[in-house]
Chain A
Amino acid sequence: MSNESIRIRMTYAKLGNLRFIGHLDLQRLFERALRRTNLPLRYTQGFSPHMRINLASALPLGFIGQAEQMDFWLDQEIPLNEISSRLRTSLPSELILKDLQVIDNKQPSLQASLLSSEYEILLPADIDLQILKDQIGTLLAQDTLPVQRRKKTVDLKTLILDWSLPSDSPVTILKMYMMSSPLENGRPDEFLELLGIDPADCLVTRTKLIFEEE
């Protein structure tokens, strides 16, 4: 198969029970969902061919994703609305197809161009906004914010790009922008822990993936 492959970029939401499915499992889930579409999927060459798919970024267990992205490849051109209708019946009910686009094969991979992510954290109702604001200010005034990840220490401060507490929201929401490259990945749950808030008491949603402009 030397013909040019068709690269399809899918934007999707990962909701509900599927929040508790990890990255590797999600990858396998996509492979099976794509097989069910019966589309002419592109496989790698070689002794044990694998389906060519590429997820932008691992979403931590428990997080909702509203605009996650992934690429997959086809052997031949199929109209996007056809792909879309097949995907809708093949995806589990808590993976929602939001958008499909054909992408030039020359464009860099999703991982390579991903810069940062936007998160919205639904905080417990009993949190005092003013106290929280002060707490965040104090934390970020420190030179470093070391957090422990397995055996290495990471400075969370360098991974936080921006934050806000939108006042127009009826519920308490903390908005955060954090680095999201494979080497420098900020985790909002780590920041919550530094604030003394149990991430399990919050609902974290990744609302946007931000990529390098072409």
Chain B
Amino acid sequence: MQTINLHQLEKILYHVEKPGRYVGGEHNQILKEWDLVRTHVCLVFPDIYDIGQPNLGLAILYDILNQPPDILAERAFAPWHDLEAQLRENNIPLFSLESKHPLAQFDIIGLSLPYESLYTNALNVLDLAGIPLLASERSSEHPLIIAGGQACYNPEPMADFIDAFVIGEGEEVTLEFIRAFEALKQAGADRKALLQSLSTIPGVYVPSLYNVSYAQDDTITGVTPSNASVPAFVTKRIVSELPAHPTRLIVPNIETVHDRLSIEIMRGCTRGCRFCHAGIVSRPVRERPVSEILQIIEDGLAATGYEEIGLLSLSSSDHTQILELTKSVYEKFHDRKISVSLPSLRIASFSVALMDELRDIRPGGGFTLAPEAASPRMQAIINKPLDDAVFEETVRTVFEHGWLSLKLYYMIGLPGETMEDVQAILDAGKRVQAIGRQIRGNRVRVHLSVGNFIPKPHTPFQWYPLNSNDELQAKLDLLKTGLHHTGIKLSYNIPDNTLLEAWLSRGDRRLGQVIQRAWQLGAKFDAWGENENMPFWRQAFTDIGMDPDFYAYRERGLDEILPWDHIHTGVTKAFLHRDLEWSKLGKTRKDCREQCYSCGILDAFADKRPVSPLIYWGCP
């Protein structure tokens, strides 16, 4: 098989910014002999290298797929505008970083779709590869296009373009999928027969094998499999315990957004915040034991030479051995000239104590806390209760223990929010500043980072409408005016960016036409800048004859069939509904390690729960 014209590539690389994005050749990259391998997979993260390469999911799949000698996995990313222009002008197809083969020559292209703003980039990547965008226009001569990642828990908006989605955790199903693919290919199955057969693998969703019908009011009346052997619903895949962590991670040659050794210390979260997509879809909690984490750090540092470690999870303070972990990390590694970051800490003095354990091996900078809501009423609605005294005590401890800067994450646009609730954010910021100044004087810096709430599928808030741009703007204005001349920093998202994510995250498969149209009009890199692409998106809705408000601003009926109802996360719709009712009553739930609320996860994965009590699942 032919690689692209390397001489031509080298020539155009002189004319682009950061050419190191496109050449591969990093330490720990795996380059196999193309012709000696049976199945060629290209893992594509449709954002630029700088953002995509540090993604841990990508590293995990790269590691798993390259272990068998008869499979190779290479990488490709979305080219930045300058290289894209050069590729199009010179008729060079998009290529993989390792062997520089055109994407179209791979057997399988695995798209990472962790967030919705990558959808147009995904289409652009296929187009740059010369691969037909629509699954219906592809045949056995084209690579099979599969996709996975957090956004795929609602696969419908991308249903037209993807042959098969892998729902949930990819560690086990990926190889199963590829082995099945190989057997079918060898048996001479055409694309249709191949997909039909792949659809029976648990966790694999082949959208073309489902028919969606709609009512007069555009809501869905049914999602039905096109034949009896296609499963009526697809349940996500999970692993019983966290598998071996990759340590021979690719070390980028150019600077990336997270230039560090990232280690997943825990998956899942037991807190049950009602706005949180990750908190639902990543259940149940599975921890990595301290001894294993220490070994991963040891091996990872030796293999990469990184100077920073990130210990990642959704809620680090909730790891049952977290204090032991931070103590051991300090003892073992404090003289290695590295820094350790421990993000996602709960608001409690205990968290400050954890950071203290890492004293002189923390990266410089401030402390970060995420109350999300400031008024007790809103805190109850979102199920993130926070005792005022605990909050103040934590803030005091942060400043007393030497930090000068504190960043606080909040959300606006939450269900049932009033201007008083927004005012409470303002007041909290000022209170924090006053406490800080009392302890450390005027050097103290307080930063409020305010995000706009977006209702997400599979959460108790999935039925709620998005706040209108005017509502969000009024709330932002209140904050801006209130913080004027206080010295408190405010950062926020512009409402238009929120709107785009809101359309796509709860869309149905009819949105595919809109995505394609928006891309044709020029939309890509939708998460970048001040969203200059919005006119393209509005135009696309008009051209296709669809109403964007239907997706963003409509309160959905509780009896409605939601576009993602046939994708099961293990958490039942009945539980989500019950939790929504609790939210409306202002009722909170305890951490689910203390009490089981029967969300459904244990029933769905009863067979997956490890028998050994030594392997910890967060459920009681």
Contact = CB atoms under 8 A, between A and B. Distances in A.
B255 A28 contact: yes
A34 B305 contact: yes
A193 to B, nearest CB: 12
A20 B307 CA distance: 23
Nearest to A91: B27
A24 B20 CA distance: 12
Contacts, number: 72
B14 interface: yes
Contacts of A18: 25, 253
A61 interface: yes
A35 B25 CA distance: 19
B557 interface: no
A33 interface: yes
Interface in A96-130: none
Contacts of A51: 337
B192 interface: no
A33 B27 contact: yes
A61 B18 CA distance: 9
B15 interface: yes
A48 B301 CA distance: 19
B302 interface: yes
Contact of A31 (B15, B254, B305): B305
B512 interface: no
A28 B23 CA distance: 17
Contacts of A61: 14, 19
B396 to A, nearest CB: 26
Contacts of B301: 35
Contacts of A38: 302
A36 interface: yes
Contacts of B12: 200
Contacts of A186: none
A199 interface: yes
B13 A32 contact: no
A43 B25 contact: no
Given A62-B13, A62-B14, A32 B20 contact: no
B304 interface: yes
Size category of the binding interface on chain A: 20 to 34
Contacts of B255: 24-25, 28
A93 B14 contact: no
Given A33-B27, A49-B337, A92-B25, A20 B305 contact: no
Nearest to A18: B25
B306 interface: yes
Contacts of A93: 25
Contacts of B15: 200
A20 B13 CA distance: 8
Contacts of A146: none
B302 A20 contact: no
Given A25-B253, A200-B14, A48 B364 contact: yes
A31 B13 CA distance: 25
A97 to B, nearest CB: 14
A17 B305 contact: no
Given A20-B20, A25-B255, A92 B27 contact: yes
B48 interface: no
A182 interface: no
Given A18-B253, A62-B14, A201-B11, A36 B337 contact: no
B23 A17 contact: yes
B251 A32 contact: yes
Contacts of A29: 251, 253
Contacts of A20: 13, 19-20, 22-23
A95 to B, nearest CB: 9
B24 interface: yes
Of listed A21, A25, A43, residue having the most chain B CB within 10 A: A21
B25 A31 contact: no
Instruction: Name, among A17, A91, A94, the residue most crowded by chain B CB atoms within 10 Å (CB to CB).
Output: A17
Given A33-B27, A200-B11, A21 B305 contact: no
B26 interface: yes
B346 to A, nearest CB: 29
Contacts of B251: 29, 32
Contacts of A62: 10, 13-14, 19
A132 to B, nearest CB: 20
Contacts of A200: 10-12, 14-15
A22 interface: yes
Contact of A199 (B14, B20, B304, B306): B14
A24 B255 CA distance: 9
Contacts of A22: 20, 254
B305 A32 contact: yes
A16 interface: yes
Interface in A67-111: 90-94
Contacts of A33: 27, 305
Interface in B236-255: 251, 253-255
A25 B303 CA distance: 19
Contacts of B254: 21-22, 25
B25 A17 contact: yes
Nearest to B301: A35
Interface in B13-45: 13-15, 19-20, 22-27
A120 B509 CA distance: 58
A196 to B, nearest CB: 16
Contacts of A90: 27, 305
A17 B307 contact: no
Given A20-B22, A94-B25, A199-B14, 4 more contacts: A20-B23, A21-B253, A92-B25, A93-B25
5 contacts: A17-B25, A18-B253, A22-B20, A62-B14, A201-B11
Interface of A: 16-18, 20-22, 24-25, 28-29, 31-36, 38, 43, 48-49, 51, 61-62, 90-94, 199-201
Q: List 5 A-B pairs, minimum CB-CB distance, nearest first.
A: A17-B25, A32-B305, A35-B305, A17-B23, A200-B14
